[in-house]
């Protein structure tokens, strides 16, 4: 049941209505039932996986917290008798106990993720290495919907409990809802328990403004997904699928189209997710902050898929960077290597691990791994070139000029879009080859000779895309200048926002890229 399918829209309306009709105390249990129903409709076998993760993380979190409490109580009781060394020794012993449970939980759940998602990738590579003449036949595996998202969300929770930052949830059903909350199950965001729980389990009264605001955001998400992203798919698929025919300038067009498609697809999906939650008074973390206004790749990753970025920073980057062996290595490198690089060796090693994991997380294929590592290389190179940039800007005073800011934004968009071509072609050598043709075989006549009308997009499609682009840009510029568009619309007189919502619905229905034999296309991030 995809977000952009008619059954989901019916399911959503029914869920929203029932949510406010039933007694407030029953709201969160109802959401749990609705979430499990949503998952079961996708494939009932998925329930086994999500329930296993829920139960295992719940039990280990309770156990870890029990050890935490036992430690606190013991120290409180024996405060006067224990020396500082004895206290430390006891703390270390209890930490080791908690650590064992945490490791067990991590291995178990990451094991499920690895087996379901990566078995075929590993087998395929082994098959290639041993050069088996027979054709590779993938094993038929069940890959539960959103497994990467709910596994990471659950593991973030157990690590927070281990660190003593989060109290363990005592009610297993409440915890089950945190793991399975249906709007964010398929493509995130990866919520933190402390952020989501307060509004997820609260009782919500029907408030016109909250519901209107949520529905407005849902419609905005559908507009981006159905009118823009799904329209662009046709062009992107044609350009990417025929590598013999479409090279050079066509690759450039495909690159920009895919950048816009992915943006509208992913942010549209997240708008629907956050909008649904908001309509029920539930606050889900924002996942984007105008990423295409970033001036460098580091800033871009602070604004794109924010919840994944902070997850990797908090649970992979920091623990690796500050572990004992890394601190020793850092000390050694600062003493033995040149000053600049000596300080950054461990940071780069941890970044490498993060980007490798990010690549693997996105998909079981080499193109995703190379994509992740390309991000790492660009960030590392720009970090190392920073002193050079600083020297340049000291001599040439253009940093304050408006055009330079625009140049930086365009440069970042082009760079990120080029790296993303690994995601498009899904073949590493082919990506290098095709991106290379942009520099060796760029024919400007492509933009004037009408060939772009032969890629499955008509003049009307281009007109809709152009208007769609202008609308998305305008809304983004409002946000950039601190204007809350939905708030403004809501406060306009004569029910202006309802007229706009009705118009948006008509636009989605009339101009959505449905066509003959329409089959709602998967959200790109649902595959991850």
Partner 1 sequence: MNELLEILSELHPDVDFEAEENLVGDKILDSLDIVSLISEIDDKFDVTIPPEEIIPENFNSAKALYALICRLDEE
Nearest to 183 by CA among 95, 259, 277, 261: 277
Nearer to partner 1, 308 or 364 (CB): 308
Nearer to partner 1, 164 or 241 (CB): 164
Q: How far is the CB of 287 from partner 1 (least distance, A)?
A: 18
Q: How far is the CB of 99 from partner 1 (least distance, A)?
A: 12
Interface residues for partner 1 in 412-471 (CB under 8 A)?
none
Count the helices and strands in the chain (H runs, E runs).
Answer: 22, 0
Nearer to partner 1, 78 or 165 (CB): 165
Q: How far is the CB of 386 from partner 1 (least distance, A)?
A: 11
344 counts as binding partner 1 under rule CB under 8 A: yes
Nearest to 32 by CA among 210, 179, 144: 179
44-52, 345-353, 431-439, 473-481 -> range binding partner 1 (CB under 8 A) = 345-353
Total binding residues for partner 1 by CB under 8 A? 25
- On the CB side of 175, CA atoms within 13 Å amount to 24
71 counts as binding partner 1 under rule CB under 8 A: no
Q: How far is the CB of 78 from partner 1 (least distance, A)?
A: 16
Radius of gyration of the chain (CA): 25
Per-residue DSSP letters for 235-249? HHHHHHH-TTT--TH
Residue given tokens 């029920």 in the structure block: 280
Contact at 8 Å (CB) between 50 and 180? Answer: yes
405 counts as binding partner 1 under rule CB under 8 A: no
334 counts as binding partner 1 under rule CB under 8 A: yes
Per-residue DSSP letters for 128-157? HHTT-SSPP--------TTHHHHHHHHHHH
Structure tokens, 220: 């905005």
146-154, 346-354, 426-434, 443-451 -> range binding partner 1 (CB under 8 A) = 346-354
Q: Which of 169, 247, 346, 367 binds partner 1 (CB under 8 A)?
A: 346
Contact at 8 Å (CB) between 366 and 332? Answer: no
178-186, 262-270, 326-334, 364-372 -> range binding partner 1 (CB under 8 A) = 326-334
Nearer to partner 1, 88 or 458 (CB): 88
Q: How far is the CB of 91 from partner 1 (least distance, A)?
A: 8
Q: Which of 93, 343, 399, 492 binds partner 1 (CB under 8 A)?
A: 343
Nearest to 18 by CA among 30, 35, 3: 30
Residue 309 neighbours by CB distance under 10 Å:
19
Nearer to partner 1, 187 or 330 (CB): 330
298 counts as binding partner 1 under rule CB under 8 A: yes
Contact at 8 Å (CB) between 374 and 368? Answer: no
Q: Which of 68, 330, 431, 526 binds partner 1 (CB under 8 A)?
A: 330
Q: How far is the CB of 81 from partner 1 (least distance, A)?
A: 18
Q: How far is the CB of 319 from partner 1 (least distance, A)?
A: 5
Q: How far is the CB of 294 from partner 1 (least distance, A)?
A: 12
Pattern 77-116, partner 1, x by CB under 8 A: -----------x----------------------------
Structure tokens, 285: 């973390």
Q: What CA–CA distance (Å, rounded) separates 371 from 354?
A: 12
For residue 443, report the phi and psi dihedrals to the nearest 5 degrees: -110, 110
Interface residues for partner 1 in 306-325 (CB under 8 A)?
313-314, 317-319, 321-322, 324
Interface residues for partner 1 in 124-183 (CB under 8 A)?
163-165
Q: How far is the CB of 317 from partner 1 (least distance, A)?
A: 6
Nearer to partner 1, 319 or 405 (CB): 319
Nearer to partner 1, 228 or 379 (CB): 379
Q: What CA–CA distance (Å, rounded) separates 213 from 484?
A: 11
Q: What CA–CA distance (Å, rounded) separates 363 from 524?
A: 11
Q: What CA–CA distance (Å, rounded) separates 101 from 62?
A: 10
Structure tokens, 162: 């281990």
- Residue count (the chain): 528
Q: Which of 123, 347, 415, 452 binds partner 1 (CB under 8 A)?
A: 347
Pattern 350-389, partner 1, x by CB under 8 A: xx-------------------------------x------
How far is C-alpha 109 from the chain's CA centre? 19
Q: What CA–CA distance (Å, rounded) separates 115 from 136?
A: 18
Q: What CA–CA distance (Å, rounded) separates 316 from 324?
A: 15
Nearer to partner 1, 165 or 209 (CB): 165
CA dihedral 75, 78, 84, 90 (to 10 degrees): -50
234 counts as binding partner 1 under rule CB under 8 A: no
Residue 305 neighbours by CB distance under 10 Å:
23
440: exposed, middle or buried (Cβ count in 10 Å: 0-12, 13-18, 19+)? exposed
Return residues touching partner 1 (CB under 8 A). 88, 163-165, 298, 302, 313-314, 317-319, 321-322, 324, 327, 330-331, 334, 343-344, 346-347, 350-351, 383
């Amino acid at each position: 049941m995809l977000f952009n399918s008619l059954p989901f829209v019916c399911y959503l309306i029914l869920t929203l209505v029932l949510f406010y009709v039933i007694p407030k105390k029953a709201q969160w249990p109802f959401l749990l039932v609705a979430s499990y129903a949503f998952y079961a409709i996708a494939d009932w076998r998925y329930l086994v996986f999500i329930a296993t993760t829920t139960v295992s993380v719940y039990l280990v979190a309770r156990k870890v917290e029990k050890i935490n409490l036992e430690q606190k109580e013991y120290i409180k009781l024996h405060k006067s008798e224990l020396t500082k060394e004895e206290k430390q020794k006891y703390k270390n012993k209890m930490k080791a106990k908690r650590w064992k449970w945490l490791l067990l939980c991590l291995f178990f759940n990451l094991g499920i993720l690895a087996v379901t998602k990566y078995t075929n990738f590993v087998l395929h590579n082994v098959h290639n290495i041993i050069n088996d003449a027979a054709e590779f036949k993938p094993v038929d595996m069940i890959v539960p919907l959103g497994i990467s998202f709910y596994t990471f969300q659950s593991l973030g929770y157990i690590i927070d409990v281990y660190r003593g930052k989060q109290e363990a949830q005592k009610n297993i059903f409440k915890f089950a809802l945190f793991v399975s909350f249906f709007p964010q199950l398929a493509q995130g965001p990866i919520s933190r328990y402390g952020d989501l729980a307060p509004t997820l389990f609260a009782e919500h009264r029907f408030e016109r403004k909250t519901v209107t605001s949520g529905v407005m955001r849902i419609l905005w998400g559908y507009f981006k997904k159905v009118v823009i992203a799904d329209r662009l798919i046709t062009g992107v698929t044609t350009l990417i699928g025929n590598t013999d025919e479409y090279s050079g300038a066509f690759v450039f067009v495909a690159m920009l189209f895919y950048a816009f498609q992915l943006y509208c697809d992913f942010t549209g999906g997240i708008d629907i997710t956050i909008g649904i939650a908001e309509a029920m008074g539930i606050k889900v973390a924002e996942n984007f902050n105008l990423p295409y206004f970033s001036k460098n790749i580091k800033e871009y990753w602070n604004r794109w898929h924010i919840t994944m970025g902070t997850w990797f920073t908090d649970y992979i980057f920091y623990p690796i960077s500050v572990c004992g062996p890394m601190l020793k290595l850092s000390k050694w490198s600062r003493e033995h290597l040149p000053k600049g690089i000596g300080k950054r060796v461990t940071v780069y090693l941890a970044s490498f691990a993060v980007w490798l994991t990010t690549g693997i997380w996105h998909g079981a294929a080499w193109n995703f791994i190379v994509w992740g590592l390309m991000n790492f290389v660009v960030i590392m190179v720009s970090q190392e070139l920073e002193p050079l940039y600083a020297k340049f800007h000291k001599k040439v005073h253009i940093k304050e000029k408006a055009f330079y800011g625009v140049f930086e934004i365009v440069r970042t968009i082009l760079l990120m879009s080029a790296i993303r071509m690994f995601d498009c072609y899904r073949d590493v050598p082919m990506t290098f080859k095709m991106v290379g043709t942009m520099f060796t075989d760029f024919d400007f006549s492509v933009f004037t000779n009408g060939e772009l009308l032969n890629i499955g997009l008509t003049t009307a499609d281009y007109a809709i895309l152009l208007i769609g682009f202008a609308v998305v840009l305008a809304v983004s510029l409002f946000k950039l200048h601190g204007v809350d568009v939905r708030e403004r619309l809501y406060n306009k007189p004569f029910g202006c926002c309802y007229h706009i919502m009705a118009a948006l619905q008509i636009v989605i229905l009339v101009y959505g890229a449905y066509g003959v034999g329409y089959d709602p296309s998967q959200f790109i991030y649902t595959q991850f």
